[in-house]
């Protein structure tokens, strides 16, 4: 069918199928090329609803490698579709734009406005899953804005909605983010419970649930259980078929770093964090980079304080990166203050 020169819906559908198939094989560049051809053909055919869906899918394809390119795909789609009627596909694209804006650390109002627009449009077309997905992004945004309690309320509401309507993808994402939110609220047992449920759903529908496994490792360590994290690393992470190889490597490194840190094996923990940052840096995923910078700085400071072995300049560089990203600023300020104080740079410590 792809050899046909005719501009027909059938050829467009074949291009979509090729894009999705090669994406599942991990061939991102080929997937992007096929999906772009499908987008152009849908545009030519005047099927703007399907065109919008394709741009949202294109963003998801990019996201595994680069959240920046995912965001750019959404922006390109919204620009090309400007002036076209609202549609279910457009609602999905606006919701995806809100999600990628979150990972690009765009301003609170910009992300929230995109999500609220998606919610209104989705409700107009009775697209419950799109509306719920956008609400989860709002919940994560609230948590990142230091309002974890508000985030918890939104996620609990979405979870009830998802379970009542059999929306398993939404239920998985809600459980995963409830796990993260409850961790922020210092409730490791509750966090672990939701992370386990997210994994169970992910296994059922063959989704990527590797971040929930990562959260399980973290919460088990907080609860004083170091055996289960090792089981997760050895037995469970390799079995997440929907996760790219690089993502499995990243979660394994971070999980090992946390176990070694809990045992006081700080040098080994630091080496694992460095390797994970190298992997994450290739994705252009700012929140993940900032999270690893925080953990790397904490390990470096403890090595310096207790053993005189850490690298102050490495910790300072990591924290400066967070200032540039404008992410996790409160923790970054506190760590910079500690770093300067340990070095006797008291005037600079006062500034933070």
Alpha helices in 25-127 (DSSP H): 28-45, 48-63, 67-80, 88-103, 108-124
What are the pLDDT digits (tens) for 276-309?
988 887 666 778 888 889 999 999 988 887 777 6
Integer Cα distance of 99 and 213 in angstroms: 21
Structure tokens at 75: 């922006």
Q: What is the pLDDT of residue 3?
A: 56
Which two tokens mark 109?
Answer: 């109002």
Assessment of whether the complete model's pTM goes beyond 0.75 = yes
Residue 24: pLDDT band by 50, 70, 90 thresholds? Answer: confident
> What would the mean pLDDT of 181-208 be, rounded to a whole number?
96
**HSE of 201, CA atoms in CB hemisphere, 13 A:** 20
Average pLDDT estimate for 333-342: 91
Q: Cα 223–227–230 angle (5° rounding)?
A: 115
Q: Tens of pLDDT along 132-178?
A: 999 999 999 999 888 999 999 999 999 999 999 999 999 999 999 99
Residue 261 has pLDDT above 90, yes or no: yes
Least confident of 195-209, 222-236, 312-326: 312-326
Q: What secondary structure letter does DSSP report for 236?
A: I
Give the confidence band of 6 by pLDDT, cuts at 50, 70, 90.
confident
For a pLDDT cut of 70, what percent of the chain falls above it?
A: 97
| Amino acid 5: pLDDT | 62
Which pLDDT tens digit goes with each residue over 61-88? Answer: 998 778 889 999 999 999 999 999 999 9
Which pairs with CB-CB distance under 8 Å and at least 24 residues apart come from 226-230?
226/259, 226/262, 226/263, 229/255, 229/258, 229/259, 230/259
- pLDDT score at 305: 76
Q: How far apart are CA 154 and CA 167, in angstroms?
A: 16
- pLDDT tens for 89-132 read 999 999 999 999 998 889 999 999 999 999 999 999 999 999 99
DSSP 327: -
Contact in structure between 311 and 323 (CB atoms under 8 Å): no
pLDDT at 135: 98
| Helix intervals (H) in the chain | 9-24, 28-45, 48-63, 67-80, 88-103, 108-124, 128-144, 148-165, 168-184, 188-205, 210-222, 227-231, 245-262, 266-281, 286-307, 312-325, 329-342, 346-351
Report in angstroms the alpha-carbon separations of 213 from 121, 195, 231.
Answer: 34, 7, 11
* pLDDT for position 283: 65
């Amino acid at each position: 069918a792809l050899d046909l020169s005719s501009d027909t819906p059938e050829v467009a559908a074949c291009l979509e199928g090729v894009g999705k198939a090669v994406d599942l094989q991990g061939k991102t560049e080929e997937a992007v090329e096929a999906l772009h051809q499908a987008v152009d053909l849908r545009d030519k055919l005047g099927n703007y609803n399907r065109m919008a869906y394709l741009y949202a899918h294109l963003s998801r394809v990019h996201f595994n490698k680069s959240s920046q390119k995912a965001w750019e795909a959404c922006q390109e789609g919204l620009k090309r579709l400007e002036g076209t009627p609202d549609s279910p596909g457009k609602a999905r694209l606006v919701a995806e734009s809100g999600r990628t804006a979150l990972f690009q650390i765009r301003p609170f109002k910009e992300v929230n406005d995109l999500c609220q627009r998606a919610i209104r449009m989705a409700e107009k077309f009775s697209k419950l899953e799109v509306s719920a997905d956008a609400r989860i992004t709002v919940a994560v945004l609230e948590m990142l804005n230091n309002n974890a309690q508000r985030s918890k309320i939104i996620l609990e509401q979405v979870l009830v909605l998802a379970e009542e309507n059999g929306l398993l993808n939404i239920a998985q994402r809600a459980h995963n983010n409830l796990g993260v939110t409850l961790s922020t609220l210092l409730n490791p047992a509750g966090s672990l419970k939701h992370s386990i449920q997210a994994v169970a759903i992910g296994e059922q529908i063959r989704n990527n649930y590797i971040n929930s496994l990562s959260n399980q490792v973290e919460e088990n360590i907080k609860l004083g259980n170091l055996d289960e994290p090792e089981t997760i690393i050895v037995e469970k992470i390799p079995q997440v078929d929907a996760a790219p190889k690089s993502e499995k490597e990243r979660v394994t490194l971070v999980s090992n770093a946390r176990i070694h840190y809990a045992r006081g094996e700080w040098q080994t923990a630091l080496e694992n964090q460095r390797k994970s940052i190298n992997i994450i840096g290739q994705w252009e995923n700012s929140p993940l980079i900032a999270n690893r910078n925080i953990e790397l700085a904490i390990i470096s400071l403890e090595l310096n304080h207790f053993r005189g072995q850490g690298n102050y300049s490495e910790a300072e560089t990591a924290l400066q990166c967070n200032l540039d990203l404008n992410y996790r600023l409160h923790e970054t300020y506190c760590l910079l203050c500690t770093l300067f104080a340990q070095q006797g740079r008291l005037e600079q410590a006062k500034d933070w």
